Amino acid sequence: DRRPAPEPLRALLGAAGAEMLLLLGSPRSATHLVAPTGQGLGPVGRHLKVLHEAGLIRRRRTGRSVLHHRPAACASPAEAAGGAQ
């Protein structure tokens, strides 16, 4: 039961980017973001690249996988965008 990203976050990052940022509260690979976002692997990769270049997510290699996650400073983007009351 996921809630949609708050409107300010969606306006800033687009719906898919905002949803991805919220999903990255725990480390996930690009492959594991395909199903929950409904995006293909290519668009997921492009969103992850933009989020990483903006400093909103970090990535680390674990074996053959690359895991993406929000750093502690971005622990609650929904609250920062006014989504949590």
pLDDT, tens digit, 9 for 90 and up, residues 65-74: 999 999 876 6
Query: Higher-confidence residue: 15 or 6?
Result: 15
pTM as predicted: 0.76
Confidence of residue 77 (pLDDT cuts 50, 70, 90): low
- Looking at the 3D structure of the chain, how many domains does it have? 1
- What pLDDT sits at residue 3? 67
pLDDT score, position 7: 78
In a domain, 85, yes or no: no
Residue 5, Cβ density class (10 Å: 0-12 exposed, 13-18 middle, ≥19 buried):
buried
Nearest of 16, 52, 15, 12 to residue 33 by alpha carbon: 16
Choice among 30-34, 57-61, 71-75 with the minimum mean pLDDT? 71-75
**Neighbour count for residue 61 (Cβ, 10 Å):** 8
The domain that holds 63 is classified in CATH as 1.10.10.10
Looking at every residue in the chain, the average pLDDT score rounds to 83
| Full residue range of the structural domain in which residue 72 is found | 7-80
